[in-house]
Structure 1
Amino acid sequence: MDELGVRTCIICGEPKTEGIHIVSEFICDACESEMVHTDVQEEKYHFFIHQMKQIWVQKNA
């Protein structure tokens, strides 16, 4: 995080200021909202799962 509170979202890769932290990673508000409203049947759901797995991969590296 920089001095202005900007973090890079692990889902979209964009620098944002508002969102949540899971372990040591950041998910912006927009991605969090999209994830919770995505049905498990949608293709995008699998993308979100893949990106979320990166949290655990990076933590255990």
Structure 2
Amino acid sequence: MMEKLNGETCIICEQQKQNGFHLYTSFICIDCEREMVQTDTDHPLYKFYLQQLSKVSQKQILS
């Protein structure tokens, strides 16, 4: 689900963007999402995307 937000910082491009989505507690802009899904695994940017995605933090639910 895409959300219109008041400018959040994308964890991939590290820029303020209006449109994107949340993955756990991190924000990914729609532009980066489009680029990531079109990038081949042998492209040099693929490793960069993996590195940036490693910043995604997961909220843990404690029971």
TM-score (norm 1): 0.83
- Say whether residues 1:53 and 2:54 are aligned partners: yes
1:16 paired with 2:5, answer no
Between the aligned partners of 1:32 and 1:52, the Cα distance in structure 2 is 11
Report deviation, 1:5.
1.6
**Structure 2 unaligned spans of 5+:** none
Greater share of helix: 1
- Identity, in percent, stands at 40
Between Structure 1 and Structure 2, how many residues are aligned? 55
User: 2-side partners of 1:36 and 1:29: how far apart?
Assistant: 11
Q: Which runs of 4+ in 1 moved over 2 A?
A: none
Larger Cα Rg: Structure 1 or Structure 2?
2
**Structure whose residues are more often strand by fraction:** 2
Instruction: Report the AA paired with residue 14 of structure 1.
Output: Q
> What amino acid does structure 1 have at the position aligned with 2:38?
H
